[in-house]
Amino acid sequence: MRAYIYDNSDLDQREPHDSGVNATLDELKAIGVLYWKFDGPDALQQINDLAVERKYKNRDEITVSPDSLGAVYEEKVKSFFTEHLHEDEEIRYIQDGTGYFDVRDKNDTWIRIAMGKGDMIILPAGMYHRFTTDSKNYLKAMRLFKEDPLWTPINRPLADDNTHRSSYLSTFNITA
């Protein structure tokens, strides 16, 4: 995992868009993003422990690639990259491949989080974000959730008035 300020160039979303300015784990934590590296022989146990602690009862797996999604791959990648939020946490464990999660910081600047195998991330409910594969076009992830999956994306600005958005902003003292 590496997090950095996204350069807003017009290049394809799958390019790195690396401004060269890193973002720290503390900066991510301050906006509610939690991160762990779970790899090695205990990885599954570490995932299971976190799931118990945070009451994630269910999980599934998704492969984002042209092979697995066929004709709808490009369309899917475009829709994942539309800025949105969810009414529940977005919990992702990368099992294989690579991809980018972009999140908005306190100043509404994009921070790009480059994820690879063994990376586990939680984005809080109500946080605006987006996702894309990189130029390798392959990512396999475990998605965890509390009860039923609540990962319907609510796009910006439609979600601006959502109660989960308001509680996110007040929890993390964000006024932007």
Q: What residues line the site for ligand KMT (CB under 6 A)?
A: 62, 64, 80, 90, 92, 131, 139, 141, 151, 153
Tokens of 35: 């991160």
Sheet of strand 110-115, all strands in order from the earlier edge strand to the far edge: 18-22, 2-6, 110-115, 99-104, 129-133, 84-85, 154-155
Nearer to Ni ion, 17 or 86 (CB): 86
Closest residue to ligand KMT, judged by C-beta, is 131
Q: What are phi and psi of 92, to 5 degrees?
A: -135, 130
Chain mean position to CA 140 = 13
The minimum distance between CB 153 and ligand KMT, in angstroms, equals 6
Nearer to ligand KMT, 90 or 119 (CB): 90
Partner touching 64 among Ni ion, ligand KMT, none, CB below 5 to 8 Å by kind: ligand KMT
Nearer to Ni ion, 88 or 90 (CB): 90
Partner touching 121 among Ni ion, ligand KMT, none, CB below 5 to 8 Å by kind: none
The minimum distance between CB 91 and Ni ion, in angstroms, equals 11
CA distances to 27, 107, 168 from 173, rounded to whole Å, are 13, 12, 8
* 139/133 Cα distance (integer angstroms): 7
Tokens of 96: 């294989």
The minimum distance between CB 41 and ligand KMT, in angstroms, equals 24
